[in-house]
Amino acid sequence: MSVALNVLTVVAVVAGAFFFLAGTVGLLRFPDTLTRLHALTKADNLGLGLVVLGLLPHVGSVLAGIKLVAIWLLVLLSGAVASQLIARATRQRDPDA
């Protein structure tokens, strides 16, 4: 049982780290602001989500597990809102971006 959980942790954390890599590469290499925003949200949603999934088997209590999921949901919410606001601000400044 614990071997399976460890395997889940390793797989999930590696996948999450991969999405962070993808998000960072996107942030650096994509041609303009809106596409970079798209890359950034992948790191937010999937990167952090997979890391949280991988860490859930190792928490000490139910409360800690709830906190982990709450952190992910908060980051999702704030990332979504910030992306909207940034995108709108970019549109206003540069209408053909």
Interacting residue with another protein among 31, 93, 95, 96 (CB under 8 A): 93
Can you say how many angstroms the Cα of residue 87 is from the centroid of all Cα atoms in its chain?
A: 18
* Interaction residues for another protein, span 21-50 (CB under 8 A): 21, 23-24, 27-28, 33, 36-37, 40, 43-44, 47-48
Q: Amino acid identity, residue 33?
A: T
Give 22-66 as a DSSP string.
HHHHHHHHSSSHHHHHHHHHHIIIIIHHHHHHHHGGG-SSHHHHH
Binding mask 47-86 for another protein (x = CB under 8 A): xx--xx--x--x-x---x--xx-xx--xx-xxx-xx-xxx
Phi, psi angle pair for 20, to nearest 5°: -65, -40
User: Could you give the C-alpha distances from 39 to 34, 44, 76, in angstroms and in order?
Assistant: 9, 9, 14
Q: Which residues bind another protein (CB under 8 A)?
A: 6, 9-10, 13-14, 16-17, 20-21, 23-24, 27-28, 33, 36-37, 40, 43-44, 47-48, 51-52, 55, 58, 60, 64, 67-68, 70-71, 74-75, 77-79, 81-82, 84-86, 89-90, 92-93
